[in-house]
Chain A
Amino acid sequence: MKKLALATLLAVGLTGCSGSEEPQVLNLYNWSEYMPQEVLDRFTEETGIPVVYTTYDSNEAMYARLKLLDESAAYDLAVPSTYYVSKMRQEDLLMPIDRSKIEGFDNLDPELVNLDIDPDNQYSVPYLWGTTGLAVDTADVDGEVTAWADLWDERFEGRVMLTNDMREVFHVALRVLGYSGNSTNPDEIEAAYEKLTELMPSVRTFNSDAPRMPYLEGETDIGMIWNGEAVMGRDGLPTLEYVYPAEGIIAWLDSFVIPKNAKNPDAAHQFISFVLQPEISALISEDIGYATPNLAARDLLDESVANDRASYPNATDMINAEFQTDIGDEALQVYAKYWEMLKSGQ
């Protein structure tokens, strides 16, 4: 009886709030501050479709929500990073992209399409890409730093920063040991863990919110950083240098995907085409600070941006570079176990 009363109450409240079928909108589910407002405004102006921009702060949270919501998910477009595309594709969370409705796909860098994460780009269209490399504050560090292995140097005790990202941190240790950053071999992962425990006394902090900040705060002198952050960090700390380590950087790619239950897939396709216009892609890259995969856009970029080696690496910088791949669930558990041991200092 009580429950019935409550249910009625709820039902009344609900019908009062859920509106009738709305006209076409675009529900964009994206990282915060990862799309200039100007682009959204211009899209609405051109197509008449309003954009509702909702944000998330990690791939994990985005994935968990899309997966849980399933049928009731109301997102038309999301922007997962690298291997989350393959993960979501394999778990049937995505709608295939209708290439006939996309204009400008040919503008994309051939190096960044048809990757293992999504062969033939059936489910994803690259948006922005970047790398995770070494940051060195040359004001406080003497001598050349060229490799991830240099982090283990004793003179950096208490001055090292790592990203707060399990996969990336293990990636570095695995590369130093000569393994693949996507290793699924438990022995190799354990060896990487052992290697990282040697590094722990040097590690001052983990940061994946804004990895440039510990350098600017003066807390750390050397460590990991994302290239876009390094570019931004130079504004406040001109001596902050972005180094491509000999063992290879970690590369990642954020792509547009359309969730399986999108209500406005047409608007989503329209938006992707809109972003693929060279002029718009260039605008995004200059505003956000990461590299656009749109080759046609690169010619439109400001000289200083286009020639910045941190944002747009040359071919030698990319030697040994590795994209992260989906390592599967079993390996993930092994990583998670060692990560927890590492962080809690055992």
Chain B
Amino acid sequence: MQLLNASGCLDALTAPDVASSLDAFVTKTVTPEPREGNTPVRIAETDFGMLNAIGLANPGRDVFVRDVLPRLCDALDVPIWVSVGGFTAREYAETCEQLARDEVACVELNLSCPNVDEAPESAAEIVRACRDVTAKPLYAKVSPHSWDMGETVRAIEAAGADGLSLVNTLRGTTLDARLRPTLSRGTGGYSGPALRPVALAAVLAARRATSLPIVGMGGVETGRHALELIACGATHIALGTVLFADPDAPTRVRTELAAEIKSLGSGSAEDVFGVALDAVASEVNSATR
């Protein structure tokens, strides 16, 4: 089990200590061209989570490879995963070609940013185009909006993905006192505690469809939350919104998770892996009988 950050929830150059407390650091999404991102207001808290509409602010892939990546290597001892975004399958693939460098441990394809207009190609087409040009491990970050997670995941696997990142944020809106959307973009990605049950269900559904590694994420704040994702079939865990409130969360969650596993009388995360899946399967079977 590895502990990562959710893409876009940590800047390793301003907080290298936090990034180094993870098992791997995932960059903000890199797009072909530089993007300034959405105009403020970009974030809003809700009762059970937060909305963000950052809009993939990033310096573009040329500057990323030339300037940011070397600085990340200097600042960090942990492997670097690069999150890749684009508007066509070809754009994703071209960025993957540029990332064929030793410093890049893994590429995570952001197929599901709720804050930009999405690529018209399907997730599987994008994965296929990237698979054709890169030997790097390819993880596909999938939207929780998918109506049939199993079908989506099978198509992504068939296209050559090495793993899945589940889930990205849900699209949401919040209104201010004058009944206007708080965020300038109107909608944003909804994350935090409210996303937890959504993430559990998505990981559970994905795990039924594939044996690929899954980075489970969505509202994880404690070791118990991480444990539940593992029980649903996550092989790795990523922290997102909790990093905003608690930069010490990686160390804390790791300690809490070890204590949770021990209290169950288990030796390691592997012993807990997928146990929720087995329980659901057997209940379904007995109901059918």
Q: Do A and B come from one complex?
A: no
